[in-house]
Structure 1
Amino acid sequence: MHLSDSVQYIKGVGPSMKGKLSRLGIATVEDLVSFYPRRYQDWTKITKMEELRPDDEAVIYGQVADMRKITPRRGLTIVNVLLIDGTGAVTLVYFNQPWKGDAFRKGTYVLAYGRIEYNYGKLQISGAETEFISPDELPSFQKLVPVYPLTEGIRISQMRNMISFALDHVEDMEENLPVETLKRQHLMGRLEAARAMHNPKNWEEQKEARRRTAFEELFFMQAGILLLRKKREKQVLSIKCAPSGKLVQAVREHFPFRLTEGQRQAFSDIEDDMEGLIPMQRLIQGDVGSGKTAVAALALAKIVENGYQGALMAPTEVLAGQHYHTFQEFYRGLPIHVAYLSGQTKTKDRNEILQGLLDGSIDVLIGTHALIEKDVVFAHLGLVITDEQHRFGVRQRKALETKGGCPHTLVMTATPIPRTMALSIYGDLDVSSIRGMPPGRHPVKTYAIGSSMLRRVFNFMGREMTAGHQVYVVCPLVEKSEKQDLASAVAVYEELKDKVFPMFQVGLVHGRMKNSDKERVMEDFHGGKINLLVATSVIEVGVNVPNATIMFVYGADRFGLSQLHQLRGRVGRGKSQSYCILFSDNHNEVTETRMKLMCEIQDGFLLSEKDLLLRGSGEFFGYHQHGMPDLKAADIVRDLPLLEMARKEAKRAVDGGADFKEELSHRFGGAFFKRLYEDE
């Protein structure tokens, strides 16, 4: 039996079971053996019966005091087995399994596992799993029982049997890691680790098996990324820019602020890249308001100074439009012609822009996805910048890059993550982090409240608006439904407009509005015509209204920490003290922990790490769209030290000439693999 074989070759898998397994993403033998347990039942930890509580999952050990089979009605047989341990009693109950009773003889010692129930005035376990272990054997009994995330129609015993059969009969699960790596890192063999993942003798073996399996996943992820980078570096020569000259210096002097140390270092990294022979591929990550836009303006000025064009793509019209206005200010009076293109650009204006790009009279184009349309053609594109890059897929990024011969590429994100993780997720990019905030930015005071404080907060909002300031009120997505999202925002808008703040101008903006309507509302808010703006998370990024001093978030428990931090970054942009108020009546432990972190931490890097630890890496990998294989054993958040080791070992192997083509083809497939080997 081979790893690539269909699961139908597994004993016990017929057409019906094959369909059920497919719902779990299991189609091949390899899928089955890599369907790892989500947890283990520890049968070595025995709970005294007097300490049991309903709904606990527990292991108990006792003697059979009584066994009875009853048939309360035709077609129903119940086996009741009474166990005692000297501190209490538990009844094991089995429905329509009359043969179960034959094994339980009076006086026999039994180890039983299951969920404790309280029925008919007594503790019981329905369908308990059991082992018959004598008191002499008990001290040496070690058993960790795997528990799998199953679907309807598959019993846990069936899953264990199918996996066991596969591991006993698979013929081609050979070692895929370099022998030197196995020795240096003291790793288990591949097949041994797979067996121990599903049936570990003890916690130590399980730990070593998971370490080996997670290391393997991270190793090949890093190998793929490093080979991609290696291909890029040897494949093409870039636009080699001259050292920054008078135009870059003029833009720098135009800024109404001095660059921070973080901004200076980030731009220095960009200069080194653009003045080299290899095309720049750099990620700039920085906290909300850390000044990434100014760095981007300098990079674009540098490419224009060298006779090439630049493009900046943003995910929303609001953000793209704001960048356009900002860059116009940065470049005012300088020989840099900036244009703006979006899906809303009028045909006449669009045609003029397309002509300006073709004849080279437009130096910098800023816009939305409209930039990647086929008829947008540049005369000589030299630099491509993607803002809030996680909102775009790899293909969209590449579509813009291919509009130039081999342009330098800069991507920016305001969702900072630990550097090691950034090297993995954006592994084909170099990483610069802008830490620290521009002078004059005040920390935003953050508070978490419930319903009892709502009236006081509304009074506070009224005082701020009377003083001439503005307020955001953000409503969450409800079960990721646009209709419910819209209804939620509209309901809040109408209540605040009609009942709470009838004396102020209240506006509404949400994702289902026409872009032109959204633009109009945002312009009115920016211009001070609207005092309070009710919005969905459409205003999460890119909105800059220095006069806004309050960010109020309804249902704050429905947002991740990084998203809440993004929203908080919409205020605190002026000279006045600003506030972020997080409203939630959800008092579970996770929510309270997250609200506490928001109130205590202002640093987006630290907050992002906490967010990832709370959520795990699953959600994070769900949206970055890098074509990476799913991680089944590794957790990129909790396994950062292992990731660093895997990266070192992968680099050693790749530098030594290994290409792992067959393994990477198997693991990555699709778009990523084509990028790696498409020219071979």
Structure 2
Amino acid sequence: MILSAGLEEIKGVGPKTAEALQKRGFRTIKDLLYYFPRSYEDYQSQTNIADIKPGRVILRGKIRNLRNLHTRRRNFVITQGEIYDQTGAVRVVWYNQPYRIKNFDESTTYYFTGQYDFKYNRYQITAPSVVTADEIEQKIEGFQPIYVAKGSLNSAWFKKLFEKLQPLLPQIPDLLPLEHAPSYLFQGARRQALTKIHFPKQPEDVEQAKQYLGYEELFELILASQLNRQENQKLKAEPLAFDLNLTKQFLSSLPFTLTDAQKSAAWEILQDLTKTTPMNRLLQGDVGSGKTIVAALAAFQAIKQGAQVAILAPTAILASQHAENLERLLTPFGIRTALLIGATKQKDPLKQQIKDGEIDLIVGTHAILTDDTQFSRLALCIIDEQHRFGVAQRQKLLEKVALNSHPSTVDGQRITAPHFLAMTATPIPRSLQLTIFGDLDVSLIQQMPKGRQPIITKIISETNTRELLYPEIKKHLEAGEQVYWICRLIEQDEDEPLEKDQHTVKEEIKRLAKIFPGYKLAILHGKMKPQEKDQVMNDFKEHRIDILVSTTVVEVGVDVPNATQIVIMNADRFGLAQAHQLRGRVGRGQKASQCFLITTGDNPPTTRLRELEKSNNGFYLAEVDLKLRGPGEVYGAMQHGELDLRIASLADTEMIKAARAQALNFASDPQNMLKYKELSQSIQKYQQLTTLN
């Protein structure tokens, strides 16, 4: 079977059905086959209503007394009714799904699958999934796949479509090489896995299918990153010689001594700069571990060899802070620094100076990427918080080398790429380093500078804030210190159900003004204009604001050493990595700092919050977060959308190890990509995800 064939090649799929599928992102037979079930239901494990207990339940019964209730909230409808069987009845509720009332026939028997819990002073099942009993019971097996609906194409529709595809499954060709493979990768393993994932007879079938399909995903991801590494090694960069005496001069000018971890990372970077292969390195270290000074040393060495350096930051205020700090460090050595952001005045003369080589170090935001920003001899690019920039943006910066007004050559060949250093304060788990970032060399700073005060973290129930939180905050305000107060939302969305217990910045600032009268409060959130955000952050830095009520927009921000307290409302709704990043906003000076994690209502603390309370180690927390939430949540938005691993777990270190060994062996022979044409096409999406050049 040709998996790249169009959907109309499937028997029974006409132009209309093909068009409906194409609108939802399905183009080929392969797209459909790799649309895996979200979950599986064992309908044989149904429960009589008289016997149900709180938790997830499957009920077989009929429905009655369905009606839509219109509430005071605009466009908010509650659909409620009763599910009943021969043993009893239970309340069922859907929120903002008024069409549900037309979906049921009171004489028809259904299977209802959902969560049975105590809510609003009564027990009820909330928003269960529903399928007719006939549809289930005409199957031989009661173990059935559940697909995520795509618009009007629901799970039952997809199941019928896959039944049309079932006769084609035995013809599916193998995808991966079988040499040096683990035992679950054998001839026919792919067709067997796709059959079992869509047509399982028992839970063990699904587990077997996931073993192969997870391995396939990891192999493709790792192979893509290795091929990107090979492509990077074909490029030519300007070698920047290491000068020991200059390094000693720079380090002796600092008012502190580098930690051993900083020295080790700096040495790895300085060694890379001496090569004609472009450095492609990720410098990762927790908030406050001293990455910037390591980057400054690299920039210093490059500039002293006659090259230019560009540093790209995600926000204007962060770029301004970098420029200010670097100018103070480097000006005594005759290095000329400039800031290029949207608000920079007299841009044209500055850009001419950059092109003429009169500026050595250019620090800025996206303004650096514009076509009219050209360099004389750009040789090193540094990106801070690199995950906040897409591939296209990084590519734009790297291409600047090709436009150098004074191009360099090495061994008779023109320089085609700069050395590249990415920095991140989001610790990346080892498994992601081996997969997503497999084309990068990684330097770690797992040590904090001397004198840094540890941040004390406390979990407080929202119901106890009056007694346990407010007096503590007031004590630090009276001592002249400042406070971050974090909320998830800007304002309440009237169309969102069940969000009444969420704190918003617009409501919270009104509440806090009454609790802490006499102190200056201000708001910061992502919908404000860039100039407004910069002004607020600058006012906070200059202590014209005592309490900054903000969304997570402060996650990456300026250093405010006088801010010693951070309060995170609804902390149980935040991811572990993000909450840790927010916590890093304090503890940036010599004063002791605290982070208060406020749980919603009287909810008990989650596992994530308990881990955050007991550890300040970002590397440890990143590994925990990966296990709890998965890679998409940990890393956030990837360069071209989400990291879309359907099956594989990046916490499965044994499978990663096996896939990596086979992928490295496979990538060592260039002829392999010609032999395995489908695999070559398949990994292109991962090559875009992982590429940095």
**Would you say 1:610 and 2:628 are equivalent positions?**
no
**Would you say 1:580 and 2:591 are equivalent positions?**
no
Query: Which of 483, 487, 512 is matched with 1:475 structurally?
Result: 487
Identify the residue that residue 607 of structure 2 maps to in structure 1. Answer: 593
Instruction: Give the SS at the match of 1:177.
Output: coil
Percent of matched pairs sharing the same residue? 36
Instruction: Give the SS at the match of 2:517.
Output: coil
**Would you say 1:461 and 2:460 are equivalent positions?**
no
Identify the residue that residue 668 of structure 2 maps to in structure 1. Answer: 655
Query: Which of 449, 465, 468 is matched with 2:460 structurally?
Result: 449
Identify the residue that residue 496 of structure 1 maps to in structure 2. Answer: 512
Identify the residue that residue 436 of structure 2 maps to in structure 1. Answer: 425
Amino acid at match of 2:429: P
CA distance in 1, matches of 2:206, 2:553: 45
The Cα offsets for residues 444-489 of structure 1, whole Å up to 9 and x where unpaired, read as: 111222333333423322221211211122232359989999x943
Instruction: Give the SS at the match of 1:179.
Output: coil
The Cα of 1:414 is off from its aligned counterpart by 0.8
CA distance in 1, matches of 2:453, 2:270: 31
Identify the residue that residue 298 of structure 1 maps to in structure 2. Answer: 297
CA distance in 2, matches of 1:520, 1:674: 35
The Cα of 1:319 is off from its aligned counterpart by 1.0
Amino acid at match of 1:386: I
**Would you say 1:625 and 2:625 are equivalent positions?**
no
Instruction: Give the SS at the match of 2:564.
Output: strand
Q: Say if 1:425 and 1:626, in contact at 8 Å, map to a contact too.
A: no
Query: Which of 369, 372, 376 is matched with 2:373 structurally?
Result: 376
Q: Say if 2:461 and 2:602, in contact at 8 Å, map to a contact too.
A: no
**Would you say 1:240 and 2:239 are equivalent positions?**
yes
The Cα offsets for residues 106-164 of structure 1, whole Å up to 9 and x where unpaired, read as: xxxxxx9764999xxxx9x983366599xxxxxxx986422222346446454333213
CA distance in 1, matches of 2:575, 2:115: 36
Q: Say if 2:640 and 2:689, in contact at 8 Å, map to a contact too.
A: no
**Would you say 1:38 and 2:38 are equivalent positions?**
yes
Change (3 A) 1:611 1:24: farther
CA distance in 1, matches of 2:570, 2:273: 45
CA distance in 1, matches of 2:146, 2:462: 41
Instruction: Give the SS at the match of 1:402.
Output: helix
Instruction: Give the SS at the match of 1:425.
Output: coil
The worse-fitting range, judged by mean Cα deviation, of 293-302 and 169-178 is 169-178
CA distance in 2, matches of 1:395, 1:482: 36
Instruction: Give the SS at the match of 1:660.
Output: helix
Amino acid at match of 2:227: L
Query: Structure 2 length normalisation: TM-score?
Result: 0.80
Q: Say if 1:10 and 1:162, in contact at 8 Å, map to a contact too.
A: no
Instruction: Give the SS at the match of 1:229.
Output: helix
Identify the residue that residue 97 of structure 2 maps to in structure 1. Answer: none
Identify the residue that residue 75 of structure 2 maps to in structure 1. Answer: none
The Cα of 1:301 is off from its aligned counterpart by 0.7
CA distance in 2, matches of 1:246, 1:399: 35
Change (3 A) 1:370 1:483: farther
Q: How many residues align?
A: 624
CA distance in 2, matches of 1:551, 1:90: 48
Identify the residue that residue 63 of structure 1 maps to in structure 2. Answer: none
Identify the residue that residue 195 of structure 1 maps to in structure 2. Answer: 195
The Cα offsets for residues 474-530 of structure 1, whole Å up to 9 and x where unpaired, read as: 232359989999x94344334434x23332233333334444443333333222333
The Cα of 1:186 is off from its aligned counterpart by 4.3
The Cα offsets for residues 560-592 of structure 1, whole Å up to 9 and x where unpaired, read as: 221211111111122221111122325557x62
Select the structure of larger CA radius of gyration.
1
Change (3 A) 1:481 1:651: farther
CA distance in 2, matches of 1:585, 1:81: 34
Change (3 A) 1:55 1:598: closer
Amino acid at match of 1:326: N
CA distance in 2, matches of 1:525, 1:386: 25
The Cα of 1:367 is off from its aligned counterpart by 0.8
CA distance in 1, matches of 2:543, 2:495: 29
* Residues 153-192 of structure 1: pairs in structure 2 closer than 5 A: 153-154=152-153, 156-169=155-168, 173-182=172-181, 186-187=185-186, 189-192=189-192
Amino acid at match of 1:268: W
Query: Structure 1 length normalisation: TM-score?
Result: 0.82
Amino acid at match of 2:420: T
Identify the residue that residue 556 of structure 1 maps to in structure 2. Answer: 571
Q: CA RMSD in A?
A: 3.9
The worse-fitting range, judged by mean Cα deviation, of 335-344 and 158-167 is 158-167
The worse-fitting range, judged by mean Cα deviation, of 594-603 and 262-271 is 594-603
The worse-fitting range, judged by mean Cα deviation, of 164-173 and 384-393 is 164-173
Identify the residue that residue 74 of structure 2 maps to in structure 1. Answer: none
The Cα offsets for residues 6-37 of structure 1, whole Å up to 9 and x where unpaired, read as: 33443454555445545654343212211212
CA distance in 2, matches of 1:675, 1:580: 34
The Cα offsets for residues 658-679 of structure 1, whole Å up to 9 and x where unpaired, read as: 4536335532557946999x9x
Instruction: Give the SS at the match of 2:210.
Output: helix
Change (3 A) 1:132 1:567: closer
What residue ranges of structure 2 are gaps of 5+ in the alignment? 63-82, 91-102, 117-124, 402-414
CA distance in 2, matches of 1:221, 1:210: 16
The worse-fitting range, judged by mean Cα deviation, of 401-410 and 509-518 is 509-518
Change (3 A) 1:95 1:408: closer
Query: Which of 654, 657, 664 is matched with 1:641 structurally?
Result: 654
The Cα offsets for residues 143-201 of structure 1, whole Å up to 9 and x where unpaired, read as: 64222223464464543332132131258621121121446554462111111112234
Query: Which of 506, 529, 547 is matched with 2:562 structurally?
Result: 547
Q: Say if 1:420 and 1:644, in contact at 8 Å, map to a contact too.
A: no
Instruction: Give the SS at the match of 1:331.
Output: helix
* Residues 159-558 of structure 1: pairs in structure 2 closer than 5 A: 159-169=158-168, 173-182=172-181, 186-187=185-186, 189-233=189-233, 235-346=234-345, 348=346, 350-404=347-401, 405=415, 406-456=417-467, 457-478=469-490, 488-497=504-513, 499-558=514-573
Amino acid at match of 1:173: I
CA distance in 2, matches of 1:483, 1:128: 33
Q: Say if 2:240 and 2:274, in contact at 8 Å, map to a contact too.
A: yes
The worse-fitting range, judged by mean Cα deviation, of 170-179 and 466-475 is 170-179
CA distance in 1, matches of 2:495, 2:141: 53
Instruction: Give the SS at the match of 1:180.
Output: coil
CA distance in 1, matches of 2:339, 2:494: 29
CA distance in 2, matches of 1:675, 1:58: 42
The worse-fitting range, judged by mean Cα deviation, of 282-291 and 34-43 is 34-43
CA distance in 1, matches of 2:512, 2:47: 55
CA distance in 1, matches of 2:689, 2:573: 38
CA distance in 1, matches of 2:323, 2:486: 25
CA distance in 2, matches of 1:190, 1:17: 27
Change (3 A) 1:620 1:17: farther
**Would you say 1:149 and 2:148 are equivalent positions?**
yes
Query: Which of 544, 564, 581 is matched with 1:566 structurally?
Result: 581
Change (3 A) 1:246 1:82: closer
What residue ranges of structure 1 are gaps of 5+ in the alignment? 61-66, 69-79, 102-111, 134-140
CA distance in 2, matches of 1:613, 1:449: 25
CA distance in 2, matches of 1:627, 1:473: 30
Q: Say if 2:49 and 2:84, in contact at 8 Å, map to a contact too.
A: no
Amino acid at match of 1:426: F
The Cα of 1:624 is off from its aligned counterpart by 1.7
Instruction: Give the SS at the match of 2:230.
Output: helix
Amino acid at match of 1:641: E
